[in-house]
Amino acid sequence: MLVDVLKNLWPLVVIQTSMQVIALISLSKRKKVRFENKWIWVIIIVLGGIIGSIAYFYFRGEEDADSSED
């Protein structure tokens, strides 16, 4: 029974982990973020799971010449 549940949840785990890694990489490349503190965003992304990653991408702040999205 537990094996069946894990078989069904692995895609969600992969999506969540991927979004968190992408959000953390994006955060590390930015010079400025909303709320002026990157550590707050690290905590939100890591502890918030997929919701924290979505919140980062939604609230991260405007694009500027100093930030890098490469």
**Residue 70 confidence (pLDDT) above 50:** no
Confidence band, pLDDT 50/70/90 cuts, at residue 65:
low
Identify whether 6 is part of a domain: no
**Residue 64 confidence (pLDDT) above 60:** no
Identify whether 35 is part of a domain: yes
Identify whether 8 is part of a domain: no
Mean pLDDT score of the chain: 83
Question: Residue range 33-41: average pLDDT?
Answer: 83
Identify whether 34 is part of a domain: yes
**Residue 69 confidence (pLDDT) above 60:** no
| Dist. CA 47–CA 43, nearest whole Å | 6
Identify whether 1 is part of a domain: no
Q: Are 45 and 24 in contact (CB under 8 A)?
A: yes
Q: Classify 50 in phi/psi space as left (phi over 0), alpha (psi -120 to 50) or beta.
A: alpha
Q: What domain range is 31 assigned to? A: 13-59
Question: Residue range 18-37: average pLDDT?
Answer: 87
Domain count, the chain: 1
Question: Closest by alpha carbon to 34, among 61, 4, 62, 57?
Answer: 61
